[in-house]
Amino acid sequence: MLLRHTPKEISERSALTINPAKTCQPIGAMYAALGIHGCLPHSHGSQGCCAYHRSTLTRHYKEPVSAGTSSFTEGASVFGGQANMMQAINNIFTVYDPEIIAAHTTCLSETIGDDLKQVRKKAIEEGKLPKGKYMISAATPSYVGSHVTGFSSMVKAMTDLAENTGKKNGKINIIPGWVEPADMEEIKRLTTLVGVKSILFPDTSGVLNGPLSGEYKMFPDGGTTIAELKSTGDSIGTIALGEWCSAEAARELDKLHKVPCKVLDMPFGLKATDRFIDALRTVAGVTVPDEIALERGQLVDLISDMHQYFYQKKVALVGDPDQLIAMTEFLVSIDMCPVHVVTGTPGKKFERRIKEITKDMPYEVNVKAKGDMFLLHQWIKNEPVDLLIGNTYCKYIARDEDIPFVRWGFPILDRQGHQYFPTVGYKGGLRLLEKILGVLLDRKDRDSPEQSFELVL
Ligand code: SF4
């Protein structure tokens, strides 16, 4: 009942965000960094920022997240944080001995003007960065961008490690974007099934969905190794999944090491997965393996069996651009009607893509980049929907407006499963539809009068 005050009348707002549909840049940078094996993410700012970023990731992934902090106090805030960072580098390698530190800035250190690349240079000159150890960095001030741009910047920073030996390794780089650890596993499974040798980076599978073994590992077994990251410069190509999360890194590899890249949508739903599989198949020079054709057929079968329940259902969506683009296309392809689409990440090209995907619908979709959940709620009040898809924060809108709700995206703070069950690929498409059908049919059961309360649906 917390959002009952949201008014139906929409007034123009230009300098006020209410209930943001995004979170801060360093959270994305930290998540990406955890996808490198043996990496300790480092937050160059105050302890409070670091604690917030770690706890947000822990609440979503239900795993401990370790990270260092430069622990800014008043002195660092006034005179700059270089001394703190130098001390941190020394302490981290002495006490925790990671393979690599992936450092990101925060609002405060960016405002001061700290330059982490220059600090790294100084650390090397002063012998604080041990031989065979690495440090990469990303500028992630949170007064611009979002967790998505923070993720993208840290993935791009990983390309600093790429080397070009002049000898191709016969592999394809796959940049999966900000997807769940289970999605990264699924992307690797599909790639292997098609017969493509790949380097997936970052890779949080085995890091943020690991087992409880009784043995504490400061650095879990998963993650892209440094050797693999170095080898990305020798790969024969890169497939970047998602314009917002992955394209920058792919283009950087192309620029620096002439590794040609292809940017695709994230493989959520039928069509985007088809494009991903086709790109892999083309690289491998093979036909689609039977196992994958079977999975696709199962997804098509479920769509056709249950089409009557999807048909013309109105949907409101909130989340991150790459995910929303693929999901909107998926919903349109099964005859659902996305009517309101909001992301907190800036970028007008997002609005253009959503309009393009929905151009044949008999209505004009409400779409906003750099929007917020308050606006989404107002849109829903003006044009009610049958289904809401988004992160946990949507539960307030779902409760107030009594809308069936599917949790999908980041963060999910009050449910389990997202780390373990993929929603990418054809099998992931089955899971998405199972979740959507589950809430739609629960609602149908709840609202059916006794004479039409059916056993079989
Ligand atoms: S100060 Fe900036 S970086 Fe730190 S938690 Fe707040 S928004 Fe994020």
Domain end call among 233, 261, 290:
290
- CB 106 near ligand 1, within 6 Å: yes
Per-residue confidence band for 284, with pLDDT thresholds at 50, 70 and 90: confident
Residues 156 and 190 placed together within one structural domain of the fold: no
Residues 45 and 157 placed together within one structural domain of the fold: yes
Residues 125 and 51 placed together within one structural domain of the fold: yes
Answer yes or no: is 4 within a domain.
Answer: no
Per-residue confidence band for 14, with pLDDT thresholds at 50, 70 and 90: confident
- CB 98 near ligand 1, within 6 Å: no
The answer to whether the Cα torsion of 87, 145, 327, 398 is positive or negative is positive
Helix (H) or strand (E) holding 337: strand 337-343
CB 333 within 8 A of CB 270: yes
Exposed, middle or buried, 153 (CB in 10 Å: 0-12/13-18/19+)? buried
- Please give the distance, rounded to the nearest whole angstrom, from the Cα atom of residue 61 to the centre of ligand 1: 20
Domain end call among 263, 290, 317:
290
Rounded distance, CA 348 to CA 371, Å? 11
Rounded distance, CA 299 to CA 302, Å? 5
Give the tokens for residue 34. 């955890």
- Please give the distance, rounded to the nearest whole angstrom, from the Cα atom of residue 25 to the centre of ligand 1: 8
Residues 190 and 277 placed together within one structural domain of the fold: yes
Three-class HEC string of 141-193: CCCCCCHHHHHHHHHHHHHHHCCCCCCCCCCEEEECCCCCHHHHHHHHHHHHH
Enter the DSSP assignment of 450. Answer: G
Residues 257 and 344 placed together within one structural domain of the fold: no
Residues 234 and 283 placed together within one structural domain of the fold: yes
Q: What 3-state DSSP class applies to 41?
A: strand
Answer yes or no: is 18 within a domain.
Answer: no
Per-residue confidence band for 1, with pLDDT thresholds at 50, 70 and 90: low
Tell me: the pLDDT tens digits for 50-76?
A: 999 999 999 999 999 999 999 999 998
Give the tokens for residue 332. 């349109």
What's the CATH code of the domain at 49?
3.40.50.1980
- Please give the distance, rounded to the nearest whole angstrom, from the Cα atom of residue 6 to the centre of ligand 1: 26
Residues 109 and 57 placed together within one structural domain of the fold: yes
Domain end call among 290, 323, 338:
290
Residues 37 and 150 placed together within one structural domain of the fold: yes
Exposed, middle or buried, 407 (CB in 10 Å: 0-12/13-18/19+)? buried
Q: What does the angle CA 208 – CA 252 – CA 238 come to, to the nearest 5 degrees?
A: 65
Residues 41 and 133 placed together within one structural domain of the fold: yes
Exposed, middle or buried, 165 (CB in 10 Å: 0-12/13-18/19+)? exposed
Tell me: the pLDDT tens digits for 331-386?
A: 999 999 999 999 999 999 999 999 999 999 999 999 999 999 999 999 999 999 99
Select from 22, 24, 147 the residue to mutate for testing ligand 1; criterion: most ligand atoms less than 8 Å from CB.
24
- Please give the distance, rounded to the nearest whole angstrom, from the Cα atom of residue 22 to the centre of ligand 1: 12
CA atoms within a 13 Å half-sphere pointing along the CA-CB vector of 88: 28
Per-residue confidence band for 2, with pLDDT thresholds at 50, 70 and 90: low
Residues 316 and 340 placed together within one structural domain of the fold: yes
- Please give the distance, rounded to the nearest whole angstrom, from the Cα atom of residue 150 to the centre of ligand 1: 12
From the alpha carbon of 27, which atom of ligand 1 is closest?
A: 8
CB 350 within 8 A of CB 375: no
111-137 burial code (b ≥16 CB/10 A, e <16): ebebbbeebbebbeeeebbeeebbbbb
Answer yes or no: is 298 within a domain.
Answer: no
Answer yes or no: is 5 within a domain.
Answer: no
What is the residue with the minimal CA distance to atom 5 of ligand 1?
A: 49
Would you state the pLDDT for residue 179? 98
Q: How many domains does the chain have?
A: 3
Residue appearing with tokens 């001390």: 87
Answer yes or no: is 166 within a domain.
Answer: no
Exposed, middle or buried, 285 (CB in 10 Å: 0-12/13-18/19+)? exposed
- Please give the distance, rounded to the nearest whole angstrom, from the Cα atom of residue 299 to the centre of ligand 1: 41
- Please give the distance, rounded to the nearest whole angstrom, from the Cα atom of residue 27 to the centre of ligand 1: 9
Rounded distance, CA 430 to CA 422, Å? 10
- CB 358 near ligand 1, within 6 Å: no
- CB 70 near ligand 1, within 6 Å: no
Tell me: the pLDDT tens digits for 397-447?
A: 999 999 999 999 999 999 999 999 999 999 999 999 999 999 999 999 999
Answer yes or no: is 2 within a domain.
Answer: no
Residues 282 and 326 placed together within one structural domain of the fold: no
Q: What 3-state DSSP class applies to 309?
A: helix
- CB 27 near ligand 1, within 6 Å: no
Answer yes or no: is 11 within a domain.
Answer: no
Residue 448, Cβ neighbours under 10 Å: how many? 12
Query: pLDDT over 90 for what percent of the chain?
Result: 95
- CB 26 near ligand 1, within 6 Å: yes
Answer yes or no: is 276 within a domain.
Answer: yes
CB 405 within 8 A of CB 439: yes
- CB 152 near ligand 1, within 6 Å: no
- 424 Cβ neighbours under 8 A, 6+ residues apart: 179, 183, 186, 187, 266, 267, 268, 273
Residues 32 and 131 placed together within one structural domain of the fold: yes
Chain centroid offset of residue 374 CA:
22
CB 221 within 8 A of CB 206: yes
- CB 204 near ligand 1, within 6 Å: no
Tell me: the pLDDT tens digits for 198-253?
A: 999 999 999 999 999 999 899 999 999 999 999 999 999 999 999 999 999 999 99
Which range of residues forms the domain containing residue 108? 25-161
- Please give the distance, rounded to the nearest whole angstrom, from the Cα atom of residue 184 to the centre of ligand 1: 28
